[in-house]
Structure 1
Amino acid sequence: MLKLFNQNLFSQTGWRFLWLAVLTFVLDQYTKKLTVEHIELYQAVEITPFFNLTHVYNTGAAFSFLSDAGGWQRWFFTVIAFVVVGLILWWLKQTSRQQILLPVAFCLIIGGALGNVYDRIVLGHVVDFLVLYYQDWVWPAFNIADSAICLGAALLIVDMFKNKELKND
């Protein structure tokens, strides 16, 4: 048990960035709470000519994938998220102290995944509220968790190209 909390484990691996996952989770949940408390369901609040805050629920995954599947998808996506978070935590432990971009990307993905999983377990749906649009074209609503997952995925790609030379040596 003491090895789990060993100072070296947290200072020498990617686990030292887990605070970012916690921060992402807290920011995601806080903004969703504000949305539910201050914006009526389906109400749109225009922020700019291309950006609204719109309170909506998503029972599916990205882009409302499987949102009309009858309810089983809630637990399916929850299990997938927990498996992915477990796998990423294992990968995170394997990262070295010299790596920064990769563990930051992993922690953003963990925080975002857990933010949406929390909604699925507690509410039965994910609260989305950020909407980008142009004239009649509207991007599906998303939230801070989704943004963190996308940013984390983009950073993984950047890390892959940035460290390509190191991995081929």
Structure 2
Amino acid sequence: MSEQALTLKQSGIRWLWLAVVIFVADIAIKFVVMENMGYGWSNRIEVLPFFNLLYVHNYGAAFSFLSDQSGWQRWFFTAIAFAVTGMLSYWMSKLPAKEKWNNIAYAMIIGGAVGNVFDRVVHGFVVDYLDFYWGTYHWPAFNLADTTICIGAAMIIIDSFRSEKKSD
């Protein structure tokens, strides 16, 4: 085995399998939603008194940010996702594989970002299907990719606090 291949095997790149699992699960769920649910809020399925399944399109980013624009945002968010994926993949290549916390966080963000990019490129929008609410207030609809991006980002923030304590 070459030295470079051995180095990659021992690096955080080894954790990209998690990004692939997240991507496949995200796309599979979105496919099931698109094929089996009617579009829109009137077709939602009440699962719990605070949670619905539904099928909606998001032309923007988180919380439908910029969704009312003319379409340029589709490529803007795609470019951002590719840049972030490249940056996180590079960081993973520099981390040892045993550095689980950050590698898992980066892989979660990459898997979610690529899942949403797939939607943007193939459909022109992101498929959202999770609707949590309290009374009449509904959190903006989201999906598995959004969830893993948020969890990964939270893990990075938590790690920054953990790192500060280690250095004190």
Could you say which TM-score interval applies, normalised by the shorter chain?
over 0.9
1:163 match: secondary structure? helix
> Where does residue 80 of structure 1 map in the other structure?
80
The alpha-carbon deviation at position 55 of structure 1 amounts to: 0.3
**RMSD of Structure 2 on Structure 1 (CA):** 1.4
Number of positions where the alignment pairs a residue of Structure 1 with one of Structure 2:
165
Q: How far apart, in 2, do the equivalents of 1:164 and 1:100 lie?
A: 18
Please report how far the alpha carbon of residue 157 of structure 1 lies from its aligned counterpart in structure 2 after TM superposition: 1.5
State TM-score, norm by structure 1: 0.93
CA-to-aligned-CA distance 1:6-30 (integer Å, 9 cap, x gap): 03312x2111110000000001001
* TM-score (normalised: structure 2): 0.93
Deviation for aligned residue 1:77: 0.6
Q: Which residue of 1 aligns with 2:69?
A: 69
Partner of 1:26: 24
Percent identity, aligned pairs only, is 48
For residues 114-163 of structure 1, what are the alpha-carbon distances to aligned partners after superposition, in whole Å with 9 as ceiling and x for unaligned?
00000000000000000000111100000000000011011112222223
1:15 to 13, 35, 45: 13
- The separation in 2 between residues aligned to 1:131 and 1:54, in whole angstroms, is 7
3-state DSSP class of the match of 2:85? Answer: helix
Kindly provide the CA deviation profile for residues 84-117 of structure 1, in whole angstroms up to 9, marking residues without a partner as x: 1111111111112331100100000000000000
- The answer to whether the 8 Å contact 2:97/2:103 transfers is no
CA distance in 1, matches of 2:116, 2:67: 14
Which residue of structure 2 lines up, in the alignment, with residue 56 of structure 1? 56
Q: Is the 8 A contact 2:11 2:94 kept in 1?
A: yes
DSSP 3-state at the match of 2:57: strand
CA distance in structure 1 between the aligned counterparts of 2:97 and 2:119, rounded to whole angstroms:
33
Residue matched to 2:129: 129
Q: Cα deviation per residue 1:42-98 (whole Å; 9 max; x = unaligned)?
A: 120010000000100000000000001101110111111101111111111111233
Cα separation, 2, equivalents of 1:3 and 1:145:
34
* Aligned residue number for residue 111 of structure 1: 111
CA-CA distance at 1:3 after TM superposition: 6.3
Matched, 1:47 2:47: yes
- Seen in structure 2, the aligned counterparts of structure 1 residues 29 and 86 have a Cα distance that, compared at 3 Å, is same
Q: Check the 8 A contact 2:12/2:98 in 1, yes or no.
A: no
State the distance in 2 between where 1:122 and 1:97 align. Answer: 33
SS at match of 2:68: coil
Q: Which runs of 5+ in 1 are unaligned?
A: none
- The 2-side partners of 1:31 and 1:97 are apart by 29
**Residue 61 to residue 8, structure 1, CA distance change in 2 (3 Å):** same
Using the alignment, how far apart are the partners of 2:160 and 2:47 within structure 1? 36
